[in-house]
């Protein structure tokens, strides 16, 4: 079976969700970073682009012109992305479930297959 590319969109909780009462300790933050790195190393063949967090500010382009965005009234905010190379949706989901983001208690991940360039 040939490998296909999948886009993973990290979505924040609907309505913005609850913010943590305090930031994680330096030790907890280091443990999270190490967990993420270990996961990325384990799936290096499937992670094409680890992506990045997105800035809160942006622009929305439409036929009517350009407006500042994303807008506060949006129910879900896209916080980041990643691109995977996998043989199926099942494999892409398994990769994401195995990682730290797969343990999210709020928010979600949307996985979409990219149409190959012809």
> What gap in Å lies between CA 88 and CA 96, rounded to an integer?
13
> What gap in Å lies between CA 14 and CA 16, rounded to an integer?
5
Structural domain includes residue 45: yes
Q: What is the pLDDT of residues 51-92, one digit of tens each?
A: 988 777 777 788 888 877 655 555 557 788 999 999 999 999
What pLDDT, on the 0 to 100 scale, is given for residue 59?
79
Q: What is the pLDDT of residues 17-47, one digit of tens each?
A: 555 567 888 998 899 889 989 999 999 999 9
Structural domain includes residue 118: no
What pLDDT, on the 0 to 100 scale, is given for residue 38?
94
> What gap in Å lies between CA 93 and CA 102, rounded to an integer?
9
Number of folded domains in the chain? 1
CATH code assigned at 18: 3.30.70.1060
Average pLDDT over residues 3-21: 75
Long-range contacts of 19-25 (CB under 8 A, 24+ apart): none
Structural domain includes residue 25: yes
Using CA atoms, how far residue 7 sits from 51, 98, 101, in Å, is 10, 16, 14
Cis peptide before 70 (omega within 30 of 0): yes
What pLDDT, on the 0 to 100 scale, is given for residue 105?
67
Structure tokens at 35: 């967990």
Structural domain includes residue 34: yes
């Amino acid at each position: 079976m040939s490998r296909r590319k999948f886009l993973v969109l990290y979505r924040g909780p609907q309505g913005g969700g609850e913010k943590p009462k305090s930031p994680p300790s330096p030790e907890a933050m280091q443990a999270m970073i190490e967990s993420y790195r270990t996961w990325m190393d384990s799936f290096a063949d499937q992670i094409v682009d680890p992506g990045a967090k997105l800035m809160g500010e942006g622009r929305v382009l439409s036929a009517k012109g350009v407006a500042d965005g994303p807008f506060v009234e949006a129910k879900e905010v896209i916080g980041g992305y990643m691109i995977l190379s996998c043989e199926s949706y099942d494999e892409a989901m398994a990769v994401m479930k195995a990682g730290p983001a797969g343990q999210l208690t709020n928010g979600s991940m949307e996985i979409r297959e990219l149409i190959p360039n012809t």
